[in-house]
Amino acid sequence: MFTLPETRFDFAGDEYIFAEISRDMSAESNFKALAITNELRRRNIPGIIEICPSNASYLVRFNPEIISAHDLVDYLKEIDITKSNPSELNLSVRIVEIPTWYDDPITREYSERFKSRHQAPDLSNFEFVMKINGFTDKQAFIEAHSSTPYLITMVGFTPGTAWQFPLGVSREEIIQTPKYLSPRTDTPNQAVGVGGAFTVVYPVSGPGSYQLIGMSAVPVYHREQRLADLKDTFFLARPGDLWKYRPIDESEYNRIVTEVNQGIYCYHKKDIVFSAEEYFMKGQRYIQELMEVF
């Protein structure tokens, strides 16, 4: 039976408890963080103000006048023991498609604009990520990046930014890259970037240091809330969801952008129950089964 990491609890001032599941990023640690924080929300314990899951940890803010820190730690330890069993880590999440124009002229232009901040100024960001991951063929790289779903492990930094970790691939196969030597002062809205082992879609224009490999045709933050799928929220990302990148060309990119601007675009998505236990047992085969029904 697969054993999940044991959690370490620390007090962070008078109002916070920090729970560290592991020092290293792994899907297993994130499943546990998501399951525990979901259970905390379900229990609605008086005195808890805010619950924030992260890649391999979580933070709980509480009111010490309502619940003592030691009582809260006891609650957390009780839940932690339950959620250390992989069979208890089923997550109700969504698979969401992100249509993406890879190696587009927009992100190539930004590569050129900020090349003085880059470790390989003679290469575009796309070419740099290809090279350091051993790819010589553009389509092979696009296939490698888009063939696996990405688990949203954390949401934060700029509101709506979702860190996404690849599932169903070995550590040796994960596409990884260092960030810029010095961050860009600007990044195009909806740019797809890679930093470390994580992929992100920039929700708004602004500074950034991830390597830019393409443009999402759909927003992950929608202030106007004109799209049917974002009527009740500004943000597409939910921790635990799976995002699947689908390569598109310029023509389809422009068509989708037009539909978004007209308020008629509907995201391709599906509600699923993700079984961490099956994922631990089957690995890539379980991911393939999920993608078949998507």
pLDDT digits over 215-270, tens only? 999 999 998 889 999 999 999 999 899 999 999 999 999 999 999 999 999 999 99
In a domain, 154, yes or no: yes
| Single-letter residue type at 260 | V
In a domain, 123, yes or no: yes
The pLDDT value recorded for residue 115 is 97
The pLDDT value recorded for residue 130 is 98
Question: What CATH number has the domain bearing residue 30?
Answer: 3.30.1360.40
In a domain, 67, yes or no: yes
Pair 72, 101 in one domain: no
For residue 3, pLDDT over 70 is answered with no
Pair 83, 199 in one domain: no
Pair 99, 226 in one domain: yes
Q: Which of 244, 256, 247 is CA-nearest to residue 294?
A: 244
pLDDT digits (tens, 9 = 90+) for 189-204: 999 999 999 999 999 9
Can you give the residue range of the structural domain that contains 198? 92-293
Pair 97, 158 in one domain: yes
Pair 17, 129 in one domain: no
Pair 126, 263 in one domain: yes
User: Of 59, 88, 117, which marks where a domain is finished?
Assistant: 88
Pair 189, 266 in one domain: yes
Question: What CATH number has the domain bearing residue 249?
Answer: 2.40.100.10
pLDDT digits (tens, 9 = 90+) for 264-289: 999 999 999 998 888 888 888 999 99
Cα–Cα dist 148/11, whole Å:
38
For residue 48 the two structure tokens come to 């808890």
For residue 1, pLDDT over 60 is answered with no
The pLDDT confidence band at residue 208, using thresholds 50, 70 and 90, is very high
How many domains in the chain? 2
The pLDDT confidence band at residue 31, using thresholds 50, 70 and 90, is confident
Pair 29, 162 in one domain: no
In a domain, 3, yes or no: no
The pLDDT value recorded for residue 2 is 55
pLDDT digits (tens, 9 = 90+) for 147-172: 999 999 989 878 889 999 999 888 88
Where does residue 185 rank: exposed (0-12), middle (13-18), buried (19+ CB within 10 A)?
exposed
3-state secondary structure of 186: coil
Pair 167, 64 in one domain: no
Average pLDDT of the residues in 53-80 = 92
For residue 4 the two structure tokens come to 């999940």
In a domain, 1, yes or no: no
Pair 182, 266 in one domain: yes
255: left (phi over 0), alpha (psi -120 to 50) or beta: alpha
Pair 79, 167 in one domain: no
The pLDDT value recorded for residue 106 is 97
In a domain, 115, yes or no: yes
In a domain, 246, yes or no: yes
What pTM, to 2 d.p., does this model score?
A: 0.89
3-state secondary structure of 68: coil
Pair 110, 246 in one domain: yes
In a domain, 2, yes or no: no
pLDDT digits (tens, 9 = 90+) for 94-110: 999 999 999 999 999 99
